Amino acid sequence: MIKLYGFGPSFGMPDPSSFVLKVNCYMRMANIEFESVNGQEYLRKAPKGKLPYVEWDGQIIPDSQEILNVLDEKYGRPLEKDLNAEQQAQSYLLTKSLDENLYWCLVYSRWGREDGWEVTKDALFSSLPGPLKLIVPSLVRRGVVKKLEQHGMGMHSDEEIQAIAKQSIDALAVLLGDKPYFFGDKPSNLDATAFGIIVQLTHSDNDIVISRFAKAHQNLVDFCVRIANAYYPEEINV
């Protein structure tokens, strides 16, 4: 059986990582049997130092997109076999846009802003013993902020990052329109990716500053409710 390594439930989500949730959602949508293995300690074992990764038939596969690529090849693109070549290309490029753009707005809002950081710190580090609780959160936060700067998102002002997030979210709402899923009546890889990020804004306990942009679009809220009810009825409170 496939083992999916992630952080575990937090913020009222099955996982606070949009990448872990992306892979989790993909496998549920594709009806691929898997086991979730959760814990921050698996970061130390991760081939690229980040979660998720999967263990499958003795093989370790890191990176959410690589995981989807391998599963697509093995199972014959279960979520996209009915899409034409143009739609498959759109799905991939839009997925990468979310991974490389909106995701970092989410990270900044949770780790860079003081209001988001207070909730993040409490959710992720409150169980640490006394001395570690005073040291570890700040060290981890500095590391995340450094990655934000290296990526480039962290070089923008707070106002600019919010504008980037709003533009991405508004564009998603336009693309979805009144359809159940982005390409019609069936979910695709893009839907798994979009859900992994957008539900963190519409239904997370960590109501960060950019959450209001997603909640302003009823079709995005309904999209998350639809997927949560279908695939996470016991895990996400919608």
Residue 238 reports pLDDT greater than 90: no
Residue 227 reports pLDDT greater than 90: yes
Residue 34's pLDDT is 97
Residue extents of the structural domains in the chain: 2-231
Residue 128 reports pLDDT greater than 90: no
**What would the mean pLDDT of 165-171 be, rounded to a whole number?**
97
Residue 44's pLDDT is 86
**Which residues are within 8 A (CB) of 172 and not within 5 positions of it... i.e. 6 or more apart?**
98, 194, 198, 217, 220
**What would the mean pLDDT of 89-117 be, rounded to a whole number?**
96
Phi, psi of 213 (to 5 degrees): -70, -40
Residue carrying structure tokens 């799905």:
91
Residue 95's pLDDT is 96
Residue 133's pLDDT is 83
**What would the mean pLDDT of 178-193 be, rounded to a whole number?**
97
Residue 129's pLDDT is 84
Residue 134's pLDDT is 83
Q: Right CATH number for 2-231 from 1.10.150.120, 3.30.410.10, 3.40.50.970, 1.20.1050.10?
A: 1.20.1050.10
